[in-house]
Amino acid sequence: MAFAELNKKMALLDDSLSLKIISIEESLACLTTVKQFDTGMTLFYLPVEPLNTLLADKARKETAELLLSVCAYLYQIGGVPYHEEDSSYLYYIYDNVTEWSSEPEYFEELGQQEVYLNEILQSRKKGLKLLERLKNPVNLKTLKKRQEQFIPKTSAEITLHRIAQRVCKMMNDYPNRSIMDSIYGDQFCKGNDGENIIMADQYISFMWSNSDHLYDQIIECVNAELNEFDSIDEPLSVQFFDLQQDQPVHDLSFEKEFFDLLNEISDNLNDFHNEKYNTTS
């Protein structure tokens, strides 16, 4: 009764907060206030094929390296999963699509299966090579230097330069901060009926391409699975009242900047992809 009454009074003060009684790991249960960041039920899938294409173009070495450094930040610090790591959700999805593509009856047209299987083989092979470059700490350490020395020439490069500046500022303002630091798990969002939830690594990830033959099958598979869930594990700001608290502390400025950045980087990667088809000789 006291908890219900407190919930009503708090809602009058700030309806964006929810009140919960939570116990994490071995700690005693305590009162907490929770503010949730709304991701808009969006799939934040970043295609890396445009980056791979740039890296193969010697004439655009500086552009490719700056984009690589930006993506290295997202992978090494930001916590964005990579689709070719077997611990990632999209690795499982790509495996499913690969298995289906191995069945002849899955295809209606002669020769279509060979095209799909070859595309899968090449994308996974190239994806693994690119992963090693994203893991390389040098590409993160040189981000600021590459950003300062970069001279953009195209519209996509101007946007990339602005993104790199934003990333440098985020690294300064939120050193070593990962978006996964704001993910607390299902103790905050699982319903009383015990239904599963959409986890963060299911809607945030690198992927190979959003324009190849596999993309429609990948998204169809993802949507079929995620549509079965009723809730989503979104970033949270949580204040625990196991000790006396001087004031409310609920700052989601990092989360807002991070997801804005994901949207802009996704658009920028698509711009680089479109450049390949819109260049005039």
Q: Which two tokens stand for residue 91?
A: 């690795």
Strand pairing of 231-232 and 197-198? parallel
What is the reported pLDDT for 141?
97
Position 159 scores a pLDDT of: 98
The DSSP secondary structure of 216-255, one letter per residue, reads HHHHHHHHHHHTT-SEE---EEEEE-SS--SS-----HHH
Compute the C-alpha angle 156/157/161, nearest 5°. Answer: 120
Residues with pLDDT less than 70, the chain: 104-110, 186-195, 276-281
Burial class (CB within 10 angstroms; exposed 0-12, middle 13-18, buried 19+) of 202: buried
Residue 201 in tokens: 């690594």
Q: Are strands 236-240 and 30-36 parallel, antiparallel or unpaired?
A: antiparallel
pLDDT digits (tens, 9 = 90+) for 60-94: 999 999 999 999 999 999 999 999 999 999 999 99
Hey, how many other C-beta atoms are within 10 angstroms of the C-beta on 29?
A: 11
223 backbone dihedrals φ, ψ, rounded to 5°: -60, -40
Residue 194 pLDDT? 42
What span, in angstroms and rounded, lies between the C-alpha atoms of 2 and 105? 62
